């Protein structure tokens, strides 16, 4: 494949993930592949890319996810080890260090039957240099002990948590009276700042228009209820595979309201404290077998986070959506800040305007006819 073609594909993937807040190029089902296991792709990383010295037998299609896992584990970006766009060059000492670390991790995991017992994240925990000393207590309250009161309180049931959540949003009757929605605002990701418009119609149609500075530019992503497509400076492309499946799941109009419809089973996992806030955590099993954890604010009852994991060659990448700054819009309450973590990239959507029950023609969601 020509270098220019590879660059166009890479640019398209980056643009799509930035504007749509989706990890469009999802990974295969992601268990760690060893030399003894059959490759799931027609080519290995060594065959498809230049200068692969350690992870030679990795399926080529899993390399992007593996790199994202390492970058997030260390809290860095690609340029920490690589010299973009010549990613194959060995100009930085950190790249050789990474190779030594990969050999070390592989050797340790051999002692556990080639299972993923340790990863980069085991020691680094989001920092380039791993800590070698035990963590110190908080300097703000060095002598306080964790109160047992919260853990001793009886937990509410799933039904009680969801009922309180719907009430906090304005009630199911008010929520179901909204059948279309437009949200506009600003978006920030990877150093880029731009604007977006998102048009949605129940039950699951959506059109996302994003505008970021060059070289990203304008991108549209549309789902018509059954199929999806993307339009950028390179043309119009159909959504397929796991990216399309994720769009079907995440672009449900009442997806953050009618939660019980999205899971086969739900249970209360416990109560957790994050950033000085208390949350009831509900664990749900999706029809595809994946587990999601839903965080509901103990004080307000509102949904604050949806957390799941995406498997990669080295381990699981966190995949989360945070909802913040809920305000009343008409008879319902909606979040005005949405943060997403996809493939190690944080995306922040700040909504400046909501419009509800706006009439939208079906033609607005149809794929444009290719010009001859």
- C-alpha distances (whole Å) from 72 to each of 66, 126, 315, 360 are 10, 6, 11, 40
The Cα–Cα gap between 279 and 53 comes to: 45
The Cα–Cα gap between 101 and 109 comes to: 12
* Cβ atoms 278, 150 nearer than 8 A: yes
**Cis, peptide link before residue 310, omega less than 30° from 0:** no
- DSSP H stretches of helix in the chain: 3-20, 45-48, 63-74, 93-110, 120-124, 149-152, 158-169, 172-176, 241-250
* Cβ atoms 42, 70 nearer than 8 A: no
Q: What is the pLDDT of residue 24?
A: 37
Give the three-state DSSP class for 88: coil
Query: Which domains are assigned to the chain?
Result: 3-124 (1.10.468.10), 153-365 (2.50.20.10)
% of the chain beyond a pLDDT of 90? 41
* Cβ atoms 108, 60 nearer than 8 A: no
Q: Would you write out the chain's pLDDT as a tens digit for each of its 372 residues?
A: 333 433 343 343 344 444 443 333 333 333 333 333 333 447 888 888 888 888 888 888 778 778 778 887 877 878 888 887 788 888 888 888 888 888 888 888 888 888 877 888 888 877 888 877 676 555 554 444 444 444 567 899 999 999 999 999 999 999 999 999 999 999 998 778 999 999 999 999 999 999 988 877 888 999 999 999 998 888 899 988 878 888 888 899 999 999 999 999 999 999 999 988 999 999 999 999 999 999 999 999 999 999 999 888 888 888 899 999 999 999 999 999 999 998 788 899 999 999 999 999 988 898 877 654
Q: What is the pLDDT of residue 70?
A: 80
The Cα–Cα gap between 12 and 227 comes to: 19
The pTM score is 0.77
Q: What is the pLDDT of residue 360?
A: 94
The Cα–Cα gap between 196 and 357 comes to: 19
The Cα–Cα gap between 175 and 255 comes to: 12
* Cβ atoms 207, 368 nearer than 8 A: no
The Cα–Cα gap between 74 and 160 comes to: 39
């Amino acid at each position: 494949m020509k270098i220019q073609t590879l660059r166009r594909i890479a640019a398209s993937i980056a643009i799509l993930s930035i504007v749509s807040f989706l990890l469009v190029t999802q990974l295969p089902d992601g268990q760690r592949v060893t030399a003894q296991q059959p490759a799931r792709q027609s080519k290995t990383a060594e065959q498809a890319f230049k200068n692969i010295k350690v992870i030679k037998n990795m399926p080529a299609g899993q390399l992007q996810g593996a790199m994202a896992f390492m970058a997030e584990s260390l809290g860095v970006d690609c340029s920490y080890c690589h010299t973009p766009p010549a990613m194959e060059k060995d100009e930085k000492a950190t790249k050789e260090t990474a190779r030594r670390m990969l050999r070390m991790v592989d050797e340790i995991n051999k002692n556990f039957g080639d299972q993923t017992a340790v990863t980069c994240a085991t020691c680094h925990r989001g920092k380039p240099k791993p800590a070698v000393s035990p963590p110190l207590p908080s300097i703000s309250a060095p002598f306080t002990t964790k109160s047992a009161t919260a853990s001793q309180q009886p937990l509410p049931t799933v039904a009680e948590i969801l009922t309180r959540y719907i009430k906090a949003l304005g009630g199911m009757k008010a929520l179901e009276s909204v059948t279309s929605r437009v949200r506009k605002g600003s978006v920030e990701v990877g150093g880029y700042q731009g604007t977006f418009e998102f048009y949605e119609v129940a039950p699951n149609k959506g059109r996302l228009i994003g505008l970021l500075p060059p070289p990203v530019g304008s991108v549209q992503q549309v789902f018509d209820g059954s199929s999806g497509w993307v339009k950028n400076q390179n043309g119009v492309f159909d959504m397929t595979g796991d990216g399309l499946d994720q769009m079907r799941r995440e672009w449900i109009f009442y997806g953050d309201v009618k939660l019980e419809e999205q899971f086969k089973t739900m249970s209360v996992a416990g109560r957790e404290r994050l950033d000085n806030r208390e949350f009831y955590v509900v664990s749900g099993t999706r029809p595809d077998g994946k587990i999601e954890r839903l965080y509901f604010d103990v004080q307000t009852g509102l949904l604050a986070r949806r957390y799941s994991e995406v498997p990669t060659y080295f381990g699981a990448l966190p995949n989360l959506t945070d909802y913040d700054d809920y305000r009343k819009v008409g008879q319902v309450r909606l979040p005005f800040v949405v943060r997403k973590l996809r493939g190690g990239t944080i995306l922040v959507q700040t909504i400046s305007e909501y419009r509800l029950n706006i009439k939208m023609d079906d033609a607005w969601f149809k794929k444009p006819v290719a010009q001859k």
